[in-house]
Amino acid sequence: MAEAIEWLADGTPYSPRFGDRYRSELGGLAQSREVFLHGCGLPAAWANEPQWRILETGFGLGLNFLVTWQAWKADPRRPRLLHFVATEAHPASAADVLRGAAAHPELLPLAEQLQARLWGLLPGFHRLVFEGGQVLLTLCIGDTQAVLREQPFEADTVYLDGFSPSKNPGIWDIHTLKAVARCCRRGTRIATWTVARSVVEGLTQCGFVVEKTAGLPPKRHNLQGQFNPRWAPRKAPQATAAPPPRPSTCVVIGAGLAGAATAASLGRRGWQVVVLDACEAPAGGASGLPAGVLVPHVSPDDSLLSRLSRCGMRATLQQAAALLQEGTDWRATGVLERRMDGSPGLPADGSKARRDWSEIASPQQLAQALLADGEVSACWHHQAGWIKPARLVQALLTQPGIRWQGGAQATRLKRDAAAGVWQVLDAKGHSLAQADMVVVAAGYASRLLAGHGSGGLPLQAIRGQVSWGLRSGDGPAGPPDGADEKAFPAFPVNGHGIFIPCVPTGEGPMWLAGASFERDQDDTQRRPQDQQANFERLQTLLPATAQHLASAFQSSGPRAWAGVRCASPDRLPLVGPVDAALQPGLWVNTAMGSRGLTFAVLCGELLAARLHGEPLPLENRMAQALAPQRFSPLTSVRTRLNTGK
């Protein structure tokens, strides 16, 4: 359930849980600007900076975010990137957020964009993207102290908001203030509307130098200050690494989804990126799949993979909506997942936020998939659909700062330590490109290009083939006209394989079934036996559809496309520096496995965030679970020593 809010007669929102009015909304825009924005020296403080990072405790109805976003938009000297990280234990509904902004017409267009993204706010992090990726709101849902442990970044500005200390003491207690202080650098400006003694003392104890300032009537005082402890502050782990680089030059090897997403994330931050690929056109590898499904993973215990896939889905859906044409390149149709083990597969909580993502399929949805109610178990993913990955690759590569170069097969990487420059060489030893940084995103070929020493990255090739045909008898193998309508599900279905019923192509709408899964095979020859295997898979997944397509599979057969997935031993991507000490500037973004359509955009953002020490788009423990070092022998020895195993 979203947080229950009462709207008082004077229009202010009130929280029955805390017995208090929403503070930022008291007094409206002028107060919000005065207390927080101006109280922290903004917008002047961020002028001409490449990035600015704001931390807010207590997102509430989002007024401070909207006011800050509006100031950013209006400022010709705005930073290229504005990060706004907000904590919130009890998120309000999208409708209440919009209602909160209704009194401020100048904020309404921004509030409408915000409310459209406020769904599925389960505990954890949610990265909401605005202004083509230049305004990034990271909503950290949960207790402030706990979520900040998972967000190791340095804020430039801190807004302390929330219900009054007497009503919600937890958000002002010394432990929370310490957690805030851990996100500060010397000089981070802080502001709040409360001058409660306990808050002043707590902040002082944590290293802030604060003073009461005159408030905007009817408020008498506000509090402003700076982080300037008398001691050397203990830095967040991420901040102890080398200082983040200024955007310079980067070569990305691989023009699939992972490489294109990396390039777009770096380009957005001001990098000049060259994307090299061995093929003559982008998306020549696994990302050339004619169409695939975008669907979150579910598990009863909401595993790391499930949470990661939701972060990835949100990132991809936003990117697709911004760059692609819905209906032609992708469509958020919803996807029905047939659960072959008979369990619904969902966590038990059944909250509204959970149901925004996925819930048990209704009898009507089962009927629309031609599946009998009571005989099959299935869940319905609301935030899901199909996509043509090559279209997304192409769109990402047209983003600013990116140059694409095809027919460039990288064979070796060489670093000139004195100049701090990487060279990418071809088989003859000729230089294909050089830059300060290299990101290897070459799928299965990444194992040798970015290998640790001689062993290479522990990657596995998994060959796959899909079968596809034109709907309604457009091709020789097609069934009779119009009959598809009755025999196809109304939306994509996954479970044991996938079936996508309708994707527009230049030749007419197509259906697609797949996919085979052959470990340790890396050839892309199309095989008749894989067509048969896809048919058998379809018979299990959607018997009625399979029966309808039986003649198509038996005669000349549907068309086929084959590619090679690249997977790591734990089936999670590899994102990060290969070995920061021995090979500075060499990063990897690969091992997307069977979920690259969901993971790639998120992994591009994660790579850029780690590189720049920015707020993370997902919890730190998830980012760490994707670190390439998890498979290096040294890391395992260290882990064994640390855990005593």
Ligand X SMILES: Cc1cc2nc3c(=O)[nH]c(=O)nc-3n(C[C@H](O)[C@H](O)[C@H](O)COP(=O)(O)OP(=O)(O)OC[C@H]3O[C@@H](n4cnc5c(N)ncnc54)[C@H](O)[C@@H]3O)c2cc1C
Q: Which residues bind ligand X (CB under 6 A)?
A: 253-259, 276-279, 284-287, 289, 292-293, 389, 408-410, 441-443, 445, 464-466, 498, 514-515, 563, 565-566, 590, 592-598, 600
Residue with smaller CB distance to ligand X, 43 or 443: 443
**Whose Cβ is closer to ligand X: residue 164's or residue 494's?**
494
Closest separation between CB of residue 390 and ligand X, Å?
9
Q: How far apart are CA 190 and CA 152, in angstroms?
A: 18
Bridge pairing between strands 20-21 and 6-7: unpaired
Helix (DSSP H) and strand (DSSP E) numbers for the chain: 20, 32
Our CB check for ligand X shows the closer of 279 and 340 to be: 279
CB of 488 to ligand X, least distance (A): 17
The tokens describing 519, both together, are 């470990």
- Which helix or strand (DSSP H or E) is residue 341 part of? none
Comparison of 81 and 275: residue with beta carbon closer to ligand X: 275
H/E segment holding residue 21: strand 20-21
Nearest 5°: the CA angle 11, 123, 110 is 45
Three-state SS sequence of 126-158:
EEEEEHHHCEEEEEEECCHHHHHHCCCCCEEEE
- DSSP label at residue 630: G
Answer whether 517's CB lies under 8 Å from 464's CB. Answer: yes
CB of 410 to ligand X, least distance (A): 4
Q: Which is nearer to ligand X, 210 or 397 (CB)?
A: 397
Q: How far is the CB of 386 from ligand X (least distance, A)?
A: 8
How large is the C-alpha radius of gyration of the chain?
26
Residue carrying the six token digits 């990137």 = 81
Give the residue with the Cβ less far from ligand X, 146 or 332: 332
For ligand X, the closer of residues 86 and 608 by Cβ is 608
Nearer CB in complex with ligand X: 61/564: 564
Question: Least distance in Å: CB of 402 to ligand X?
Answer: 15
The CB-of-610 to ligand X minimum distance in angstroms stands at 18
Comparing CB distances to ligand X, the nearer of 5 and 390 is 390
* Bridge partner residues of 405 (DSSP): 276
CB of 464 to ligand X, least distance (A): 3
Residue-wise burial string across 148-178, b where 16 or more C-beta atoms lie within 10 A, e elsewhere: bebbbbbbbbbbbbbbbbeebeebbbeebbe
CB of 609 to ligand X, least distance (A): 19
Helical spans, DSSP H, in 325-379: 352-357, 363-368
Question: Minimal distance in Å, beta carbon 628 to ligand X?
Answer: 14
Q: Which is nearer to ligand X, 62 or 497 (CB)?
A: 497
Q: Name the residue nearer to ligand X (CB basis): 138 or 394.
A: 394
Question: Shortest distance, CB of residue 422 to ligand X, whole angstroms?
Answer: 14
- Cα separation, 558 vs 538, in Å, equals 13
Q: Give 275 or 477: the residue with its C-beta nearer to ligand X.
A: 275
Q: How far is the CB of 27 from ligand X (least distance, A)?
A: 47
Q: Helix-strand-coil percent breakdown of the chain, rounded to 5?
A: 35, 25, 40
DSSP state letters, 453-467: TTT----EEEEEEEE
Q: How far is the CB of 492 from ligand X (least distance, A)?
A: 9
In the block, tokens 């935030």 appear at: 383
For 67, the enclosing helix (H) or strand (E) is helix 63-74
Strands 437-440 and 586-590: parallel
What's the rounded Cα separation, in Å, for the pair 262 and 279? 18
Contacts of 411 (CB under 8 A, 6+ apart): 425, 426, 427
- Rounded to 10 degrees, what is the CA torsion of 92, 93, 95, 99? 0
Determine if the peptide bond prior to 296 is cis (ω within 30°): no
Assess contact for 403 and 249: CB atoms under 8 A. Answer: no
